[in-house]
Amino acid sequence: MPPPSDFAVLVCDLLAPVAEIRLRRLFGGYGIYGDGVMFALISGDVLYLRTDDVNRPDFERAGLPPFRPFPDKPMRMPYHRPPDSALEDGDEMLAWARPAFAAAVRAHAARAAKPRRGKAQASA
3-state secondary structure the chain: CCCCCHHHHHHHHHHCCCCCEEEEEECCEEEEEECCEEEEEEECCEEEEECCCCCHHHHHHCCCCEECCCCCCCCCEEEECCCHHHHCCHHHHHHHHHHHHHHHHHHHHHHHHCCCHHHHHHCC
The whole-number pLDDT of residue 119 equals 54
The whole-number pLDDT of residue 25 equals 93
Q: For residues 33 and 104, is the Cβ–Cβ distance under 8 A?
A: no
> Average pLDDT, whole number, for the chain?
91
In tens, the pLDDT along 26-81 reads 888 999 999 999 999 999 899 999 999 999 999 999 999 999 988 888 888 999 99
The whole-number pLDDT of residue 124 equals 46
What are the structural domains of the chain?
Answer: 6-122 (3.30.1460.30)
The whole-number pLDDT of residue 86 equals 97
